[in-house]
Copies of this chain bind each other. A is one copy, B any other.
Amino acid sequence: MSQLKKIIECVPNFSEGRDMEKIEKIVNSFRGKEGVKLLDYSRDEDHNRLVVTVVGEPEAMKKAVIEAMGAAIEVIDMTKHRGQHPRMGAVDVVPFIPVKNVSMTEAVELAKEVAKEASEKYGLPIFLYEKAATQPQRENLANIRKGEFEGMAEKIKQPEWTPDYGPAEIHPTAGVTAVGARMPLVAFNVNLGTDNMEIANRIAKNIRFLNGGLRYCKAIGIELKDRGIVQISMNMTDYTKTALYRAFELIRIEAKRYGVSIVGSEIIGLVPMEALIDTAVYYLGVEDFSMEQILEARMME
């Protein structure tokens, strides 16, 4: 067959969740572009934030993302921005996610190219984060964003917080931006047949990375008041290494010691096909299965 098409995903977050005219200006950068497909965008008024999901070929994606960053910098004034979600810039964060025939190394490379070009074009200080981070303390976005827009003018002058690209001072109205690369996140929640939050919190602790659990699993206990049950709410940060079924079965095993059963689960938002195919292959015990056997995977080559 012909050369395999490379597909990368980008989920940029912009600090505007209220003004539809401004939102449309940003989102329009992803519309009608050859090689780029806008999958979704959702805004939150309380967070005053816009999250866009777009997939496409790396070169086309790069151009569209840089254009969208320009649109956001033009329409958003961070000195006037108020919202519940932590944020440090008009273009708050730009993660690139390998989807098909793209390695993490290529995603990191693309993140760096976008960071370099955008910093030069817009005079914007940019930090590389997660897999693109140049220092361990910059891997975690929360570390970079600490102090938020209001604290950034001072923070960025400290030698350990010199940005990876662009000037060592904030953009007056657009603040600073983090650009990075990461695996796809899967938001996977498991419901338990109890209303006991103590149990949910203990199980969440036992299975999550932070407290000695699965490496690519973040988890917290949550109360579903309407239904009178509790939930283990998880972010699976690399389903290729920490499989969904493994977290599920571990919750089942932990719940057993409290005499509690799993009563259902939820997947929030988008999920890569492979995360669920892998789960089916586990439960059916399929031998020697290859993703090449999936009709749709073959169609997309």
Residues of A within 8 A of B (CB): 7, 9, 37, 39-40, 55, 99, 184, 191, 244-245, 248, 262-267, 269-273, 276-281, 283-289, 293-300
Contacts and interface: CB of A to CB of B under 8 A. Distances in A.
A133 to B, nearest CB: 25
A37 to B, nearest CB: 6
B266 A288 contact: yes
Given A277-B273, A277-B276, A281-B276, A295 B245 contact: no
Contact of A39 (B55, B265, B279, B299): B299
Nearest to A247: B284
A273 B279 CA distance: 12
A289 B267 CA distance: 7
A289 B271 CA distance: 11
15 contacts: A7-B299, A244-B284, A245-B280, A245-B283, A263-B285, A264-B286, A267-B286, A269-B293, A270-B294, A272-B295, A273-B296, A276-B281, A277-B277, A280-B283, A296-B297
A203 to B, nearest CB: 16
A286 B270 contact: no
B286 A283 contact: no
A293 B279 contact: no
A1 to B, nearest CB: 8
A286 B299 contact: no
